[in-house]
Every structure is written in C-alpha cells, then in structure tokens.
Structure 1
Amino acid sequence: MNPLHHSTRGRRARRASLAVAAVASSALLLTACSVGSGETPSGGSGTTGASAGTSAGTEVDSAQPRIALTYDGGLYVLDGETLETEADLDLAGFNRLNASGDGRHVLVSTGGGWQVLDTGTWTAADGSHRVAEPALTDLVFAGDTPGHVVRHGGRTILFADGTGDTTVFETADLLDTSGGLPETETIESPEAHHGVSIELEDGTLLTTIGTPDERTGVRALDADRSEIARSEECPSVHGEGTAADEVVVFGCTDGVLLYDDGAFTKIDAPDAYGRTGNAYVTDTSSIAVGDYNSDPDSEGYLLSSLVLTDTVAKTATVVDLPEGVTYTWRDVARGPDDEILLLGSDGALHVLDETTGTETASYPLIDAWESPVEWQDAHPALVVQGGTAYVTDTAASSIHAVDVATGELLASAELPEVPNEIAVVTG
C-alpha cells in the first residue's frame, strides 16, 4: 500500500482548477469534523488534532506495519509484528476503516466524511523509516454518507453515497498532513446512490449508475470527465476490483460486469439469481475472486460458494467450498502468490488454488462462529499484508498474526474490547 506509479499526463494542471486547495481544506475542517454520533473525538492513549502528522518521528531500521481496529467506542492502533497496542483512541459510533494507500494513514468513515487517522508509521521522502505516536487528526475529507474507498494507480478514490459524488486525490500527497488535506478533484453524479468509483492509469473514471432506489450499471468518463461508454446490465451493482492489465470487475445480482480496453462485457451468472457483491483481486492475477450467493431468500450473511472470473477468457466459474465451510465478505483475501485465503466459520484459515478453488491447506485457528445478525455486527475478519494474515476473533476479543506460507502463529494479543473493522498499513 505504498504509493504506486503516478501518471504524468498533466493531472495536476487539470486538477488545479477543480481541486480543493488550502483554503478549501480549512473549510472542510470547519464544516466536516463530526464523528460517529456527532461528537468531537477525544484522545485515549493517543492524540488528536490537526497538528498530528507534523512530527519528524523516530527513525527505525525497517518499515513497521501497524493495524487499526475499531471497537464500540473507539479505535486501537497495534504494532503489526508484536500486536502490542500503540494507541487507544476514543471515537463514538459505528465507524468503517480503509487504508488510504500511502502506507501511513487510515480513513475512518464518520458522520462528516472520511476522517484521517495517522497510525504513526511511514517511510519518509529520504527513504528512512519512522514511527511516532498514532493520532486521530481533525482532518476530514467531507462526504455525505461516506462509502467505498478505492486505491489504484497512485490515486485514492472516495465515494459519498449521500450525493453520489466522487473525490479523487494523489495518494502520496496525504503522507504529510502538516499543510492540511491534499488537493482533490470532485466528480458529481446525476443522483445519489450507494456506489463506487475507480480511476485508471490513463485517467478514465469508472463510476456506478444509480438512484436512491436502484443501481443499474457503470459509466466510463474520460480524463476530461466526458462520458465515453456505459453499461446498464448490472443490477444492484456493488463493489469493484482491478485484476491484471487493469481489467475492472464489478459485481451484479446476475453475474459480473467487466471493463477492459474501453469496453464493457457482461458475464452472466450460471443461476437466475447469482449475486456477487465483492471482488478480491491482485494486479498480477487475471483471476478475480468474488463472493457468490444463488439464493435471494437466504437468511444471514454466511456464504458457501465463490465465483472465479477469468478476466482474459471472459468466463466465470462457481466453486463450492468444502462441507461446513462458510464465510462473509470480511473473510476473503488474496495471498502473496495470488492464492485465495478464506477464514471459514469453522474457525480455520483455508488456502485455495486461484484457478480451481481447490483447497490446498487448512490451518485451525479460532473457535467456530456464526453469522452476524446485522452486517455491521462484529464478527471474525481477515486481512493480509505481505506474507502475514491478520485474523480477529470477536468471541475472544483477540487478534492473531499467521504466516500464510506455513500456517505458523506469529503473534496473538487479547484486547480489552471486541474488535470490529480492521485495516493494515505497511509503514
């Protein structure tokens, strides 16, 4: 999640006239600092405030990953190797987490938008690795009902469900927040809806089509934000993922929608109802893994199948998991060799072949668990960084670090509160 390649097609010149610069950043601070239920954050063992992020930090020998976790009433920041708690920050409400992509910051979805959490670990411009005390800053990217956060091609893309607006900024520009928020571009949507956007390397913006009542597809806008293509063959479009060669996958209730080389392709599900809501991808694999549900009347959130989409052949295959293995959208990830990692409701970490879905290994880890009643309810989650899988155990209020290659338990930690959302930064 360190900054990726930056396109040199003159983005900054175009964005200068559209962006939110220093003056607008100040306005954001005045109008969009609400968090959770509208309370101002107050510090636990960490700090808060706009001054956070200005510290030079302490130099260390190598990049130090850190983990952000939400709980009911606050945030933990943990050391990514030892799992020791670096900070416990108060924050009311149910708050979602997304790594910003710069290796340092996490965006916390709060009442006023995406609030910037400085995890206190980063790689400086001179290449040195530094750590500092984590801080929940008062910097907020304004957004009405903040939703999906996408990181791609050195850009971070935010989608506000309450307006349908997309906000885009250069990921690396967030590394130093001493001058406030980075310059941004906002692209308006015709109508508000629960959606998602992504900008490709050539400046093409893919953004969902919808209303508050329904979502139907995706449109493509060129670098000047003129529409160049659209597809409305993706009912209830949700989520996105970018596979090898920048082929983008969107989930639909009747299959998946691909965008490749300027054109959309719909791949129908094998079932009349075959919903994919989330895509799990890598930029080195042409196989996109999606969650899959063929029962529109199913109760709960546990699923027992995956869909593997070959983005080159433009085909999709549904794979059933071993008997007794189910999961939710929080429990699938891709490993360092593009393998599929899945935290099953049986409590084991399952390793699956990306092309066939065949299980190649299984590592018992936590006790079996049941479906959450509501999607926001805390339940076990999986996130992978490099060769390490991080797994939360909500029943035991704990977190574990596991070596993906061997299943070896690297570290464990008990937490005072039940963990919910999780995000990892590389440092």
Structure 2
Amino acid sequence: MSHEKSLTKRRVQAAATTRRLHMGTGILALITAGTLLAGCASSAPGQAAPAPESSAGSPSAKIAEAGTATPRLVLTYDGGLLVANARDGAILSDHRLEGFNRVNPAGDGRRVLVSTAGGFQVLDAGAWSEKHGEHAHHYTAEPALTELVFPAGKPGHAVVHAGHTALFDDATGKINIFESTKLDNKELPRTDDVALPEAHHGVAVQLSDGKLLVTDGTSEAVNAVKLLSATDAKHRRTTVAESKQCPGVHGEAVAKDEAMVVGCEDGILVIKDEKISKLEAPDAYGRIGNQAGSEASSVVLGDYKRDKDAELERPQTFSLTDTATNTLKLINIDYSYSFRSLARSAGGDALLLGTDGKLHVYDVKNGKEKKAIAVVGAWEEPIDWQQPRPTVHVSGDTAYVTEPATKELHFVDLKTGKVSRSVTLPEVPNEITSIKG
C-alpha cells in the first residue's frame, strides 16, 4: 500500500493548519543508542475551542436514550463524510470536509478520527453506551464533526489496541498516545508523546503492559522495528527487542495472545514474548504490506506481492502467518484484490473481497475456502490508491461492502452467507469504518 505520496496542495494546507494550532509543552522521547526516552504531555497540542453548541457533546444537544446499542457507519467521499445507521444504512448526517480524507476508529466506541489536512480531526458519530453496574444505558445524538484536531503534518496510521490509541505523524516521526476512553468533544486528552529520530511512513502500537512497538527509519527507507519498554518513573523507555531485517516496513496487526506482525518486502516479522522473529518469504521480493488480525485467532491474514517493479501489481496470492508456530503459508487464488479487501470475521475466518465481485471466506487453519458470496460487480483495482474501489469492513456478524460504481452499500450476513440489504448512497463511497455505539 504505497500511501506515502501526498498532493502539494494538501501539504500546504497541512502546514498552514498546523501553524494555527497551539502546540503545548510536552516531554519528547528520543531514540539514542538503543534507549528511547518518552514524555507525558498534556492535551495542549492541538487543543481547540469547545465543540459547537449544536454538537452531540454540548449540554444543549438533543440526547435520546435507546433500548440497545446503536452502531453507526462513517464513510468518506470526495470532499466529505457520511454518517449512517449501521442497521439499515439510513444517512444520519453529511459533513463537508475538503480534500482526500481517511477514517480510523478512535477506540472509544463513539468517535472516529479523520485523517485530514492538519491532523487527526475528531468526528463524533453520535451513539454511545455507559455501563451502570451489570447493565448499560445507550444513547444517541446528532453526529458532529468537532473542531478538535490532534496536529500532524502528514497524519498516517492510527492504531487502537489495549485501551490506547496511537497516532503517527509521517511528516515528523512523532507519535501521540492517549487512553481511548478519555476522548471527548470539549478538549483533547493528555497524550504520551514519542519523537522518533527521523520522519517516515511508520506505525506504533501500545500493548496492554505498556510496551510500545514502533518502526524506525527515514523518508527514503524504513527497515527497523523496535519493541520498547513501558515508561519508567522518569518517563523513559528502553529497547527490549529490535530487528533491522525488515526492508520496506509496512502495516501491522495484532493476533491472539497479543502476538503482533509487521510486514516487510521479503517476508514478515512476528513480535511476541519480547522477541522479534523474521519469517522469510519464499521469493526474493515477497512483500506483505497489509495485514488483518483477530483476537480470536493466532493466524494473521496478509496480502502478498512478487513484482518489485510493477506500477501496480494485482496479486493472486495471499498470506497466512501463524504467530503460534511462526509459520508463513501462501495461498494462490484465481482472482485479485486490493489493500481494502482484507478483513476478519468475528470467529477469525479470513475474508477477501475479490475483483470477481465475491466475498471469499477462508479457514485460516488450512487455507481452504469455506464459501464465496456474490456481492458486487466485477471490478479492477485503480492505479491511484486514493481512488474509490469496492471495500469491505466487518462489524459483528455483518460485512459491509461498498460498490462505488453504483453508489451502493451492501450488508452481508456472515452467518447465512447472504446479502441481507443493499442501499444507495448519496455520494460515491471510498473508505468506511464503524462505531459500536
């Protein structure tokens, strides 16, 4: 997934926006001779004015109590975002936001982080649940695109894991980490900030014990991955494990028992038990750049590309990495797919949305296809990675599949293996994510 290129206009917008945002004082971490110092900073970086009075987070907003959780979808289109009911696809709100935008779960079950010019902007999807003893109360309100922004010159990966959200700024190599549930619509939460030595297209994942996985490289080359300790009393982190044998580092996924993988151009790294192991690809160039993990399975689904010189390789092989046995298996198929084709079912099955228009379901234990569900028309991956193409996103037992050619959103019941509903959207959909509500 070659996402590093940005338009000049977006860079100018990002720089201008960042200059306007107030940068707070935080203790930055520096990697030096295998030691990385990390500092806790307040949420002052990017602190904005409170959300508008009409937002879901304001006292005057109309809040309704619901009988059950109300999941919602957030979809991007060229110049805006749609919020839809995840049960029937009804459009609840439309937010204009110029440029190419991306969406990421914020981790609190209510909000979404929009990667846009200037940073990660907070969108409140307007549905949430609050636990009260052994039960919970469920609420809904009007979705709102808040004015809160985590500043980033080039917002990259946003990874939610173990109750924390890690944001990576490709323009600076800076990482902001916050407790996912601390997010609200009034001010940004306190963040732990880590500054890597060089800017690069990277990623960070915080584990349940406080350890932090980070990439390390430059804008020209990224080949290192480090597992850092939790912060000590002086807010310092040290290197627990390191590998420099991962050219073209890209992507990450977490599997069962908190084992992790990071993709390389010649295989994949497995990180578990404070060790980093390299699983070599059978080809001199065997790139695994996108992965989909599941807490229900030790196996990680990944793509697999063999042609280093291709402008755009349309792969016909995918990978299964078993983090329990440290084995890599390649599965050949008779269709192709894109980086937005990979997903996992609630039970851990591997899902691939093929260019043949079918959603293919695989048993990750043996790599055998269990079923193929016809969903969209046949399609071809566009050369430009930012252009819309059929995309799959899973929430619970439903796989949501977009079809840009027809402006449709399809609901696939993974239990029955059938398309249960199709709705026409007002805009051509691009990316999609969801909140549990």
Q: How far 1:400 sits from its partner (Å)?
A: 0.9
CA contact (8 A) 1:247 1:311 kept: yes
Q: Map residues 63-82 of structure 1 onto 2, 5 A cutoff.
A: 63-82=69-88
Corresponding residue number in structure 2 for 1:409: 419
- Partners of 2:118 and 2:262 lie apart in 1 by 27
Corresponding residue number in structure 2 for 1:173: 182
CA contact (8 A) 1:49 1:137 kept: no
Report whether the alignment pairs 1:100 with 2:100.
Answer: no
Corresponding residue number in structure 1 for 2:359: 349
Q: Map residues 97-246 of structure 1 onto 2, 5 A cutoff.
A: 97-126=103-132, 127-174=136-183, 176-178=184-186, 180-224=187-231, 225-246=237-258
CA contact (8 A) 1:103 1:426 kept: yes
Classify the secondary structure of the residue corresponding to 1:329.
coil
Return closer, same or farther for 1:405/1:415 CA change in 2, 3 Å cut-off.
same
Return closer, same or farther for 1:48/1:84 CA change in 2, 3 Å cut-off.
farther
Q: How far 1:297 sits from its partner (Å)?
A: 2.5
Q: How far 1:303 sits from its partner (Å)?
A: 1.9
Corresponding residue number in structure 2 for 1:399: 409
Q: How far 1:302 sits from its partner (Å)?
A: 2.7
Partner letter of residue 202 of structure 1? D
Corresponding residue number in structure 2 for 1:4: none
Number of residue pairs the alignment of both structures matches: 391
- Partners of 2:178 and 2:416 lie apart in 1 by 38
Structure 2 unmatched ranges of 5 or more: 1-36, 232-236
- Partners of 2:303 and 2:169 lie apart in 1 by 24
Q: How far 1:52 sits from its partner (Å)?
A: 4.2
Partner letter of residue 368 of structure 1? A
CA contact (8 A) 2:38 2:194 kept: no
- Partners of 2:41 and 2:131 lie apart in 1 by 24
CA contact (8 A) 2:56 2:141 kept: no
Q: Which of 427, 430, 433 is 1:420 aligned to?
A: 430
CA contact (8 A) 1:106 1:117 kept: yes
CA contact (8 A) 1:150 1:197 kept: yes
CA contact (8 A) 1:49 1:135 kept: no
Q: How far 1:408 sits from its partner (Å)?
A: 2.4
- Partners of 1:110 and 1:319 lie apart in 2 by 36
- Partners of 2:299 and 2:67 lie apart in 1 by 36
Q: Map residues 314-325 of structure 1 onto 2, 5 A cutoff.
A: 314-321=326-333, 323=334, 325=335
- Partners of 2:110 and 2:150 lie apart in 1 by 16
Classify the secondary structure of the residue corresponding to 1:337.
coil
- Partners of 1:49 and 1:344 lie apart in 2 by 44
Corresponding residue number in structure 1 for 2:259: 247
CA contact (8 A) 1:301 1:371 kept: no
Return closer, same or farther for 1:16/1:204 CA change in 2, 3 Å cut-off.
closer
- Partners of 1:94 and 1:277 lie apart in 2 by 22
Q: How far 1:425 sits from its partner (Å)?
A: 0.8
Report the TM-score, using the length of structure 2 for normalisation: 0.86
Q: Which of 399, 405, 411 is 1:389 aligned to?
A: 399
Q: Which of 90, 101, 104 is 1:84 aligned to?
A: 90
CA contact (8 A) 2:248 2:265 kept: yes
- Partners of 1:310 and 1:227 lie apart in 2 by 25
CA contact (8 A) 2:254 2:260 kept: yes
Q: How far 1:19 sits from its partner (Å)?
A: 2.2
Q: How far 1:301 sits from its partner (Å)?
A: 5.0
Corresponding residue number in structure 2 for 1:28: 47
Corresponding residue number in structure 1 for 2:320: 308
Q: Map residues 221-300 of structure 1 onto 2, 5 A cutoff.
A: 221-224=228-231, 225-300=237-312
Q: How far 1:340 sits from its partner (Å)?
A: 0.9
Moved over 3 A (4+): 47-52
- Partners of 2:175 and 2:241 lie apart in 1 by 18
Q: How big is each residue's C-alpha offset from its partner over 1:331-386, in whole Å with a ceiling of 9 and x where there is no partner?
A: 11000110011111111111111122211111111110111120011111000001
CA contact (8 A) 1:301 1:328 kept: no
Corresponding residue number in structure 1 for 2:17: none
Q: How big is each residue's C-alpha offset from its partner over 1:234-288, in whole Å with a ceiling of 9 and x where there is no partner?
A: 0010111111111110000000011111111001001111000011111121111
- Partners of 1:210 and 1:202 lie apart in 2 by 25
CA contact (8 A) 1:50 1:139 kept: no
Q: How far 1:407 sits from its partner (Å)?
A: 2.1
Q: How far 1:125 sits from its partner (Å)?
A: 4.4
Partner letter of residue 422 of structure 1? I
- Partners of 2:430 and 2:331 lie apart in 1 by 28
Q: How far 1:136 sits from its partner (Å)?
A: 0.4
Return closer, same or farther for 1:258/1:49 CA change in 2, 3 Å cut-off.
farther
Corresponding residue number in structure 1 for 2:22: none
Partner letter of residue 243 of structure 2? S
- Partners of 2:39 and 2:159 lie apart in 1 by 23
Corresponding residue number in structure 2 for 1:61: 67
Q: How far 1:299 sits from its partner (Å)?
A: 3.8
Report the TM-score, using the length of structure 1 for normalisation: 0.88
- Partners of 1:20 and 1:51 lie apart in 2 by 24
Q: How big is each residue's C-alpha offset from its partner over 1:175-195, in whole Å with a ceiling of 9 and x where there is no partner?
A: x333x1111111010100000
Decide which moves more: 296-305 or 342-351.
Answer: 296-305
CA contact (8 A) 1:217 1:233 kept: yes
